[in-house]
Structure 1
Amino acid sequence: MKKESLPKYAVTLNQDKQIDNIYSKLDDSIVKIDLRNTLKKHKDEYLYYKTDHHWTSLATYYAYQDIAKAFNLKTTKQSDYTIYPVTTNFEGTLANKTGSVNIKDEIDIYVPKDKCDYVITDESTNKKSRTIYHSDALETKDQYTVFMGGNKALFHINVDNNSKRHLLLIKDSYANSLIPFLIPQYASITVVDARYYFEDYTRLIKDDLITDVLFMNNSNTFVQDTSLADMLEAN
């Protein structure tokens, strides 16, 4: 949120300082994908929902371009996608906590015009699907779960393309709307939510032939939740 949009006496955390501190402590072998400048360039656009703590699909589109450059993936243009507004009456977590008066959000999905087939397996239920999107979620209170059907411990996405690369995505719910941009670039994506996955990551990396690893979490999850620390210590 822009500082000028906050209430006059709002107490805020200096997240720039916090993120700089985190990056300064990471090993030089780790590539830091700093999205702040990119998002600041588009700060007057619809990057965050008004009633929810997540970023919008537009923000993840911009974020993907930086991620693609860092991972040597194909960058894209908005014209490469068909953009569907799947709901215009979304009321998210912030509205549920504080209430909202005549404020609704729109959720858009970006579908690549150059489509590829893929199969998603939810390892908790062994159920398979040919789409990342769950349209039934739009009839529920938590419409954001239209992406991936919500947070689960482990998903496997197998893609019908010519890529030789396999991604391990360790994430929280912020990454759910990013996954559609990543799918065309990989032969498979292993999606793990460290808050719910307690198995051996080393074995997972070997079994899934992982070539790339991406951590994607909002900063609050990163600094407040202990699951990432537990995962790294255990592996």
Structure 2
Amino acid sequence: MEVFYYSEKACLTFAERINSFAAKVKGVNVYSMVIPKQCAYYIKDSKKYGSLWDQSMKADTTIKNALNGVTYVDAYHALERHTSEEIYARTDHHWTGLGAFYAAEEFAKTAGVPFASLNQYELKRREGYVGTMYNFTNRNPKLLNNPEDFITLVPNVNHMADYYDKDYKFVTEHDIFWYISDQMKSGWYSTFLGNDDYMVRIKSPVCKNGRKLMIIKDSYGNALSPLFLSSFEEIYIADLRYMNVNAIDFINNHGVTDVLFAICSYSAVNGNISSRINTITTLGK
């Protein structure tokens, strides 16, 4: 697994950028959900890296305390309660559909919206998964010889979506879930939304509460895509790194009521990602 290193300066910059974003969308609920990496929970007993186990918690606390006009979503403790379950991939740097579920549940609670219980999803397993860490470790045979299951949670309601390019020009209609071939095992995480750089619009077939959510995310946010069909009438999803539309104008033009920044801890301390938060508010200006 990857090891996370805390930077107070980077965490404060991230919080400041989200605070600035929120100030530009008056009347819209803005949330920050920093998603811990695996190391937040599973390296405490490591002889080599055990001393770093609390780095993620420090980052989470620093960002939480620096937010102003932004609501904190406690993904850290929501996931901590389920560390004995398959909430992270073992051979990949992402979480699983199950891990995303518990974080999404916490967000729905924080936002005060309905949320479908776990028994309203079909938990699907696909055998033979060897994820991104295989390539990250120069194809370590230990990973190849110890594959895992790729886990998705499939909602029991229609889950089609409209896909757009980074300029929000329509591309296609497709299921939230995409089939990635056995020859592309390390890319099975792209089962969620097919790619990082699509902008996506999902219209709920069941929710009629007047709430519209925009998820501004890195790749961790992809796994959240099937989980809010009972919570919001419409869900818009855009990757912070690729979107080429002005986020403030988009929110206003589409009647978005809630904005969730769903960013993993690595991205939160990445200066380029923090800069992009500013960039997407000024595009086209």
TM-score (structure 2 length as normaliser): 0.74
1:209-228, aligned counterparts within 5 Å? 209-228=255-274
Distance 1:22 1:77 in 2: 29
Change (3 A) 1:137 1:195: farther
Corresponding residue SS for 1:52: coil
Give the whole-Å Cα distance in 2 for the aligned partners of 1:216 and 1:138. 29
Name the structure 1 match of 2:172: 128
CA contact (8 A) 1:153 1:194 kept: no
Q: Which residue of 1 aligns with 2:48?
A: 9
How far apart, in 1, do the equivalents of 2:127 and 2:45 lie?
22
Aligned length: 231
| Structure 1 residue 105, shift from structure 2 partner | 2.0
Counterpart residue type for residue 149 of structure 2:
E
Residue 152 of structure 1: aligned partner: 197
**1:80-95 correspondence to structure 2 within 5 Å:** 80-85=120-125, 87-95=126-134
Aligned partners of 2:177 and 2:192 also within 8 Å: yes
User: d(CA) in 1 for partners of 2:192 and 2:242?
Assistant: 18
Is residue 53 of structure 1 aligned with residue 93 of structure 2? yes
Q: State the match for 1:197 in structure 2.
A: 243
In structure 2, stretches of 5+ residues that fail to align are 1-38
Contact in 2 for aligned 1:64/1:178 (Cα 8 Å): yes
In the other structure, the counterpart of 1:112 is: 155
Root-mean-square deviation (CA), in Å?
Answer: 2.1
Specify whether residues 131 and 22 from structure 1 end up closer, same or farther in structure 2 by C-alpha distance, changes over 3 A only: same
Tell me, yes or no, if the aligned pair for 2:159 and 2:202 is still in contact at 8 Å: no
Instruction: State the one-letter code of the partner of 2:146.
Output: I
Contact 2:178 2:190 in 1 (8 A): yes
Q: Aligned to 2:103, which of 37, 53, 63?
A: 63
The alpha-carbon distance between structure 1 residues 72 and 100, as it changes in their structure 2 partners (threshold 3 A), is: farther
8 Å contact 1:51–1:100 — kept in the other structure?
A: no
Gaps of 5+ in 1: none
After superposition, the Cα gap between the structure-2 partners of 1:225 and 1:184, relative to the gap in structure 1 and judged at 3 Å, is farther
In 2, are the aligned partners of 1:52 and 1:94 still within 8 Å (CA)? yes
Work out the CA distance in 2 between the residues paired with 1:153 and 1:183.
Answer: 19
Distance 1:138 1:157, change over 3 A: farther
Report the 3-state secondary structure (helix = DSSP H, G, I; strand = E; otherwise coil) of the residue aligned with 2:52. Answer: coil
**Alignment match, 1:77:** 117
Shift of 1:199: 2.5
Partner AA of 1:219 in structure 2: S
Does the aligned pair in 2 maintain the 1:163–1:187 contact within 8 Å? yes
Q: Secondary structure at the match of 1:217?
A: strand
Q: Indicate yes or no: 2:67 matched with 1:21.
A: no
What is the TM-score normalised by the length of structure 1? 0.88
Are residue 44 (structure 1) and residue 84 (structure 2) matched? yes
Q: 1:151 to 1:138 in 2, by over 3 A?
A: farther
